[in-house]
Amino acid sequence: MAIFAQGKIEAFCGPVELGAPDNLEQVIVEFIRGAKKTLDIAVQELDSEVIAQALLDAALKGISIRMFMEQDYLRAEQPPKVAPKGSQTQRDAELAAQWDEQRRPASLRTNRDILAALLRCGVDVKADLNPAIFHQKFIVRDYRGGKSVGNAALLTGSTNFTETDTHKNLNHAIVFHDYRVARAYAGEFEELMGGTFGALRLREEDLPGTINIKGVPVRILFAPDDHPELEIIKQMLKARSRLDFAIFTFAVSSGIDDALLMLRLADIDIQGVLDAAQGGSDWAATPWLHKAGIKVFLSDKDKLPGLRKLHHKLMVIDDDIIIAGSMNYTGPANDYNDENIFVLGNPYDLPKGEGGPVDHVECKAIATFFRNEIERIVAKSSRFVPG
């Protein structure tokens, strides 16, 4: 864990199994355990029994919990197969296929088993209505109904609440101990409660302003209504000498690759690492970036044993700006998915009404923390070579 802004911002990179400093599963559990009154959770997937147990324990202590999850991880893609065994009748086989999932051993529990346990303990769990991807990953703690009901805080990042994402995939998380950040995400959660998801949103809203947390400007944007890709490009254009990134999916359908090409023409030093499976796909921006002279690396499971995916969505610009969150750099993520990004820092001396004053030393410290993790991953990755 790295602490910034006088304890108001905590940053984490994991997993420890892959040489990163933090156990992200434990980070999420401890955040849940810190709740005094409420937890509002929006997450694509939950299959970690450790995290689920923390939620069940919180519910039994009287914490009010509301939760949204991606429906695709809760329902089977097709009805179960029915195959009578031995003397079993067709009807008995049908009943077994329909009901036996709950009777399996704990080692084989699924998202649906966890869902049933949450419902039994009174957690208000709902599935999303987004026909695209519900890709959020955040928890609002002790802020509801327009006011703080305890020590309001917000946890977000690239990490799904799964065993794989917390122990086998490279990810980040960040905690803001600030009621204004909690309020911004609480507003997003209330939109979900109102039934507005993804491109189905009908509300016209102003872009959120910049919050100053002990000298660190923080901007928060949600996809698709805030069009965060435009904000990312806007921040990229502030680059003066270098830009580093670690991204799971980076497609040519994004406009961010075009911005990188323009920055390279301006002689900005750019290096980044992509997940090998995603970065090696035909639709990926990888060849274009490489051809422009950008140093592109692909994750390498031989150099980093135990790695499944590079799942970060990280960008660091000079020593001033950090962009992170749930959103991959693709057109669908910007236009259709439910996502969030946050931007930390600014190279300029902003006036108070626009997110200033800026503590550039503190912004540099945060940038250094995340850049060090990107460079660590790059050192364990392989340089892209076109086929």
CA-to-CA distance for 228 and 236, rounded, in angstroms?
12
Interval 36-56: pLDDT, tens? 999 999 988 898 999 999 999
**Low-confidence winner among 248-262, 290-304, 359-373 (lowest mean pLDDT):** 248-262
Q: What is the mean pLDDT of residues 83-102?
A: 80
295 burial type by CB count under 10 A (0-12 exposed, 13-18 middle, 19+ buried): middle
CA-to-CA distance for 175 and 350, rounded, in angstroms?
24
| pLDDT beyond 80 at 79 | no
Backbone angles phi, psi at 307, to 5 degrees: -70, 135
Interval 11-31: pLDDT, tens? 999 999 999 999 999 999 999
Q: What is the mean pLDDT of residues 2-18?
A: 98
Interval 258-314: pLDDT, tens? 999 999 999 999 999 999 999 988 888 899 999 999 999 999 999 999 999 999 999
Model pLDDT, residue 131: 54
Model pLDDT, residue 84: 87
Bridge partners (DSSP) listed for residue 218: 211, 344
Confidence of residue 335 (pLDDT cuts 50, 70, 90): low
Q: What is the mean pLDDT of residues 3-16?
A: 98
Confidence of residue 181 (pLDDT cuts 50, 70, 90): very high
Interval 190-233: pLDDT, tens? 888 876 544 444 445 555 689 999 999 999 998 777 788 999 99
- Choosing among 3.40.50, 2.60.40, 3.30.870, 3.30.460, the CATH entry for 2-78+87-167 is 3.30.870
Percent of the chain with pLDDT over 90: 64
Q: What is the mean pLDDT of residues 381-386?
A: 95
Percent of the chain with pLDDT over 70: 88
CA-to-CA distance for 27 and 235, rounded, in angstroms?
29
According to CATH, the superfamily of the domain at 218-383 is Endonuclease Chain A (3.30.870.10)
Give the mean pLDDT of the chain: 89
Q: DSSP label at 196?
A: -
CA-to-CA distance for 223 and 170, rounded, in angstroms?
23
Look at residue 259 and give its three-state secondary structure.
helix
CA-to-CA distance for 377 and 194, rounded, in angstroms?
40
Q: What is the mean pLDDT of residues 84-92?
A: 89
Tokens representing 27? 């980070």
Model pLDDT, residue 122: 95
Name the segment(s) of the chain with CATH classification 3.30.870.10. Answer: 218-383
Please name the residue that has the structure tokens 């917000």.
Answer: 154
102 membership: H or E segment, kind and range? none
CA-to-CA distance for 337 and 360, rounded, in angstroms?
33
Strands (E), the chain: 2-4, 9-14, 38-43, 64-69, 124-127, 137-144, 147-157, 169-176, 210-213, 216-223, 242-247, 269-274, 295-299, 309-310, 313-317, 321-325, 339-344, 381-383
My answer on whether omega of the bond before 287 falls inside 30° of 0, hence cis, is: no
| The one-letter amino acid at 176 | F
Look at residue 312 and give its three-state secondary structure.
coil
